[in-house]
Amino acid sequence: MSNSPVTPSGEANDFFLDGLAGTQNPDFQLEPDAAQTALPKTQTELQLPLVNPEQPEPAPQFEFDGMAKPVFTIHIATDTLKPQQVHFRSAKNLLESLEAQNIQVPYQCREGYCGACRCKKISGQVTYIKEPMAWINDDEILPCVSIPTSDLTLKFRG
Amino acid sequence: MTYQTFNKKHFDVLKEPMFFGENVNVSRYDQQKYPIFEQLIEKQLSFFWRPEEVDLSSDRGDFAELPEHEKHIFISNLKYQTLLDSVQGRSPNVALLPIVSLPELETWIETWSFSETIHSRSYTHIIRNIIPNPAEVFDDIMNNKQITERAESVSEYYDALIEGVNVYNSFGVGTHTINGETVEVNMHDLKKKLYLTVASVNILEAIRFYVSFACSFAFAERTKMEGNAKVIKLIARDEALHLTGTQHMMQLFAQGKDDPEMAVIAAECKQEVIEMFADAAQQEKDWADYLFKDGSMIGLNKEILSQYVEYITNQRLIAVGFDTIFPNAKSNPLPWMNAWLVSDNVQVAPQESEISSYLVGAIDSEVDTDDFGDFSL
């Protein structure tokens, strides 16, 4: 094998590695090379996220600064226990909010298909974040897939 | 009257009732009378799993170390689960497909039954893993009086419906003389058989299964037989969906919008169905007696399991629109069951797992301190 450089076949100015030759290219101009003067600011401080997404806080009700958040009052009634009152702030769903406030609700799937958390809605409105698949009567809701849109009165069995 | 695999009549399927209307012809899902059944199908398909995905290697050792009376509890419970899924793997198809009239419901019944066959296969997987001769366990299902009694009570309504539908499909409504016997077929009676069958399936999946799940999870609560609990967790997730299916059917029957006659029958059978729930609860308590005959296990005994039977029976009665029958069972005596039954920590895709199971036995997953013997720092 000889060490002679490989000569490209064809014209020498046919092409360049980073574009066409300038003279053949009147339509546009490449930006001139400019030395980079300002280096990006180096981060001197280690910034950790406020919440570790791998380990969410035990209470799922996060506070958001500067954001007006609707707070709904939820009245809880049962056949046996005395009535309680809690608040819905910004939990993922009604079930999590109730659990965070020590209201024990039966649950299983937490996805709206088993119906274990089904309860009676005496007054108020909720919206569903996921279409419930379990059977619910007109006066019932599934807390695991709903969030309140007004103050609520709920009735649990037991 | 004869069943037609492809009904040639032209009719508006949206005006058909769930059962005892026209036989289904085109399996089409562009228009649906009850979209819930299509949603159930999709959910069930998204739950697909295979028994072999679950690593059971630690169970063999756990089982060998269990005391005799706990072995009895574990194996008897598995036999019972095997029986229940043997019935459920075929009966919805045999009993309900010949009379179903909506394509989405027909497909749901098939999807539902299919998932039960996976459960059956998983019991063989579990038993093969812990016992040198699995035949001992399976053969006993047919010889054990306690189990065969249960088989009778879970299959009697199915069999009555299948028998009635057979005569109806062959001869139609009316009074017939078959083999010298006079058989009367009337629609009201057939529909009543259907209603009771759906109720008994709801009892099977919503009460009987959950009692057996409680036993499986009680072992895993003590970190024993955890591979088995993983399988049962997947089964429980499917069953939650199945019982939602039968609850929908029962509520649709009771409303009468689907078939006005079914509402009459539902009202007529109310007392009978409540008694079926009560009988099933009693049978489950008797079963608890048999399970714990040689002694209790840590965390579960006859009393606690019986309380759970009462609690779950009440819950299921409410779900189908009836009143509770056990006034004292207001709270769940096994609160840890919820955590085992929750589906959001069931591993869905193997690669996103917590996971002994993804390695499907490809790698020896046991790590012992000896394995680090030749390490030096």
Query: Which residues in chain A come in under a pLDDT of 70?
Result: 1-69, 158
What are the pLDDT digits (tens) for B24-60? 999 999 999 999 999 999 999 988 999 998 889 889 9
Query: Which residues in chain B come in under a pLDDT of 70?
Result: 1, 343-365
B34 is catalytic: no
Return the pLDDT at B125.
94
CA distance B372 to B377: 11
Three-state SS at B125: helix
Q: Dmax of chain A from CA atoms?
A: 98
For chain B, say whether A109 makes contact (Cβ under 8 Å): yes
- Exactly one of B3, B34, B80, B123 is catalytic; name it: B123
Return the pLDDT at B370.
81
Chain A residues touching B243 at Cβ < 8 A: 114
| Burial profile A104-131: b = 16 or more Cβ within 10 angstroms, e = fewer | ebbbbbbbbbbbbbbbebeebebeeeee
Q: Which two tokens stand for residue B51?
A: 């028994």
Return the pLDDT at B371.
80
Q: How many CB pairs under 8 A join A and B?
A: 62
Whether residue B179 contacts residue B51, with contact meaning beta carbons closer than 8 Å, is answered with no
Which of A78, A79, A102, A109 to substitute to test the interface with B, most B CBs within 10 Å? A109
The burial of A49, by beta-carbon neighbours within 10 Å (0-12 exposed, 13-18 middle, 19 or more buried), is given as exposed
Three-state SS at B2: coil
Chain A residues touching B330 at Cβ < 8 A: 79-80, 157-158
Return the pLDDT at B194.
97
For chain B, say whether A9 makes contact (Cβ under 8 Å): no
Return the pLDDT at A40.
61
Whether residue B357 contacts residue B53, with contact meaning beta carbons closer than 8 Å, is answered with yes
Return the pLDDT at B262.
96
Return the pLDDT at B350.
47
Return the pLDDT at B189.
96
